[in-house]
Chain A
Amino acid sequence: MLAFILRRLAQSIVVMAVVALIAFMLFRYVGDPVASLLGQDSRLQDFEELRERLGLNDPFYVQFGRFIANAVQGEFGISYRLQQPVSELILSRLPATIELAFASAIIALVFGLSLGVFTALKPRSFAAGLIMTLSLVGVSLPTFLIGIGLIYVFAVELQWLPSFGRGDVVRIGSWDTGLLTSTGIRSLILPAITLSLFQLTLIMRLVRAEMLEVLRQDYIRFARARGLSNRAINFGHALKNTMVPVITITGLQLGSVIAFSIVTETVFQWPGVGSLFINSVQVVDVPVMAAYLMFIAFVFVVINLIVDILYFAVDPRLRIGSGRR
């Protein structure tokens, strides 16, 4: 077990290094920060001077070396756009994104699991069919359109919920939370729903598929034949065995939550790292973009590690497999 974890840790470090390289390399192509940093009044010499000062004229490996050396210390420089230390900017935006992702993950898991189990246990019922069909409508609409639609209905027409922002926040230690004020909670509802719809559908469909699969297995039939209660069979055996792929996919889907949070945050003007990133992309604010990518990669590596370990713990067959390696 320890060897396994250590090996994965080593791999994770390699992953981070490669991500750093890619992040750094790709951003050299996204656009010219110099053009967006200087205004209409800038002249040619200014461009050259700024390029020189930003080190954009240095060889690639020199720039990359500088980037890595700083990144290891958590130092990503000063945002070109907002002229503040990037690490501070990201840390100050993190609570918003985490609360949003957390809220939407809970919605997705609770509804996804229960609807998935329901549709699997009553696959022929009208309600199950309706849920399956409706859930598909949800994923068949682009996230931004769902967001705009929700804003239009609940903020503009009905005026029940706020259309943008986080509402009032309360600061606890170094964490700004919107969960303790009524405006904060109200502001969270629409974005969290928007963000959760896709994951909800995915989890629900996955649970249903796996559940149906398991319910067909011989051991379930035997269990039924032996007279075990439906409840024990459905939840004690079927659902438990369904969990392996569900854990994997749910874990991996956290990435999509962050991906779609870029769009959701943009639509709802949610002050998280996603909207910070999009704002930075538009003006090619390289330090912020690079730090964001590194951050996302880090989150993923951690999630992957946890998923792998959980996988390892849940499915004993895999333990033999990797033990042999």
Chain B
Amino acid sequence: MRKLLITASVLALGLAVMPASAETIRWARNSDALTLDPHSQNQGTTHTFVHHIYETLVDRDVEGSLQPRLATEWKVKEDDPTVWVFKIREGVKFHDGSDFTAEDVVFSLDRARSEKSNLKQLHSAVESVTAVDDYTVEVKMTGPSPLYPNNLTNTFIMDKGWTEKNNAVEVQQAGSTDDNYAVRNTNGTGPYILESRDPDVRSVLKINANHWAEKKPDITEIIYLPIADNATRVAALLSGEVDLVQDVPVQDVERLANTAGINVETGPENRFIYFGYRFGDAPLKSSNVTDKNPINDPRVREAMHLAIDRNAIQKVVMRGQSIPTGVANPPFVNGWTPELAAYPEKADVARAKELLAEAGYPDGFSITLDTPNNRYVNDEAISQAVVGMLGQIGIKVTLASRPIAQHSPLIQNSETDFYLLGWGVPTFDSAYTFNDLIHTKAGHFGAYNPSGYTNPELDKQIESLATEIDLDKRNATIAEIWKKVQEDRVLLPIHVQVLAYAMKDKFSLAVHPENQPRMYEVTVNK
């Protein structure tokens, strides 16, 4: 720590006298990476930062398709559908100069799926990893796993020798009492080298002159600055203290876009916002209807679906920065169709009221809506708008707003009747969503399904997706599952989030669908 801080202050002094160069970018976002240990946290902010230092076998581009990175090609072994073969890039060196080989890949994948890793879910189907030669790795799966490479986009490759030498083979776990070397020190193959780091304050990355890629990044130095407060972050860009702001509040997009010298890029994120509610016969905990569960009646769910004016939310609450949707699936993700995504253009209050009356609630009922207030874009305001819209059909909603740290336990412990949540799909495949949101809560499945929705037939179909190799057949099953999910209105989707990056107009950078902007992709307009 001491050494790190000394370098930090020496560097800070150095910066003070250095002339501002076109290659430095000061990059601000709302929070810092939690750790530099690449296998310790499965969390977007951390991955985004670590992507500059470490590299993955495969990468996802801004269109969402898989691209080679440290692996040059990958395919299922011809005679064995349960084995994936990765060809490894040659001539790659780690920052400390040691060679990158298949050994490092085996080591890293084993570390990533080790007991203490937070990435182990993504590798749960892996049986063993072996190096065939210096540049070929085989991954044996427990069964056919046609989509396994999709799980590798955030699994970073570490140097075996370096990690062993520094006693960092075991992944640092949250709550452990040992200080782990890999949390604060890095040795990756990536385009930037960690120069200094002061968590929550500032991290500096310098370009890796020996990086394998032919095209050298325009940006030679990254100064990463977490600024938690929205207004302060926007102010820092307006006053010229930072060059790029990643988490731009939607209401400030227009102002920034109209500010001379600032350029705003927007694009959809691979994340949808939806409401969930409690199924089952047991009465709701927060309702005035105490003998049964109104939501269990499909007519009530249909009425709620009809009462929500998604276009109004998009226009007013989100300032146009969202894509309203009728399905809980972002458009990039396998299984999405425009038909599924269709939604009522306007709220149909009359029909919704009729349905409620038919269901036996002509005067509506009351319920509490639990919403986070610091996690998704305008989460609290979306919920507030929905309270009003449901109010118009007679459903009296009490809004309970909490920070995400207090909101998520309600979901994990199934303590909520009605809740807002956002969901990203890192594998770009519907199965990921089905596993966690639709499947009955049991074992590895349904971790984020507090609703009590259960359908054994659907569960079986969902489970079959993991091992189905025939992609056409698999896609047909996905379509069937979505059809049933939509029929039952298991979820009440609102929109797909749109991201905005604001930057000085000499820089340009397209929005990354997983909100993982890469500074080496920034172009400097000369």
Contact = CB atoms under 8 A, between A and B. Distances in A.
Contacts of B172: 83
Interface in A94-119: none
Given A41-B121, A82-B35, A156 B409 contact: no
B174 interface: yes
A134 interface: no
Contacts of A196: none
Given A168-B13, A176-B9, A266-B228, A162 B177 contact: no
B409 A32 contact: yes
B24 interface: no
A11 interface: no
A165 B202 CA distance: 9
A140 interface: no
B405 A31 contact: yes
Given A53-B175, A84-B183, A169-B9, A35 B16 contact: no
A50 interface: yes
Nearest to B14: A168
A54 B175 contact: yes
B399 interface: no
Contacts of B233: 164
B235 A156 contact: yes
B239 A162 contact: yes
Contact of A83 (B183, B200, B229, B241): B183
B35 A40 contact: no
Interface string B1-39: 110011011101101100000000000000110110100
Contacts of A279: 31, 200, 228
Nearest to B124: A43
A89 B1 CA distance: 9
Contacts of A234: none
B121 A42 contact: yes
Interface stretch (A147-155, A225-233, A300-308, A313-321): A147-155
Given A40-B424, A269-B229, A78 B16 contact: no
B43 A165 contact: no
A57 interface: no
Interface in B173-216: 173-180, 183-184, 198-202
Given A39-B42, A42-B121, A43-B444, A50 B239 contact: no
B9 A163 contact: no
A37 interface: yes
A283 interface: yes
Contact of B12 (A83, A168, A282): A168
B161 to A, nearest CB: 23
A158 B154 CA distance: 43
A162 B228 contact: no
Contact of A170 (B13, B15, B178): B13
Nearest to B179: A85
A284 interface: yes
Interface in A281-296: 282-284
B403 A168 contact: no
B35 to A, nearest CB: 5
Interface residues on B, range: 35 or more
Contacts of B118: 38-39, 41-42
A181 B239 contact: no
A47 B374 CA distance: 22
A268 B227 CA distance: 8
Nearest to A158: B239
B273 interface: no
Interface string A45-89: 101001001100000000000000000000001101111110011
B260 to A, nearest CB: 14
Given A39-B118, A82-B199, A169-B9, A152 B175 contact: no
B234 to A, nearest CB: 9
Contact of A268 (B9, B119, B180, B232): B232
Contacts of B9: 169-171, 176
Contacts of A266: 228-229
B42 A31 contact: no
A77 B177 contact: yes
A14 B341 CA distance: 63
Nearest to B15: A168
Contacts of A89: 199
Contacts of A256: none
A39 B232 contact: no
Nearest to A81: B34
6 contacts: A47-B412, A92-B198, A151-B231, A155-B235, A166-B201, A169-B9
Interface of A: 30-45, 47, 50, 53-54, 77-78, 80-85, 88-89, 92, 148, 151-152, 155-156, 159, 162-166, 168-171, 174, 176, 181, 183, 266-269, 271, 275-276, 278-279, 282-284
List of 9 A-B pairs having minimum Cβ-Cβ separation, nearest first: A171-B9, A32-B409, A54-B175, A35-B408, A271-B201, A37-B174, A39-B42, A31-B405, A168-B12
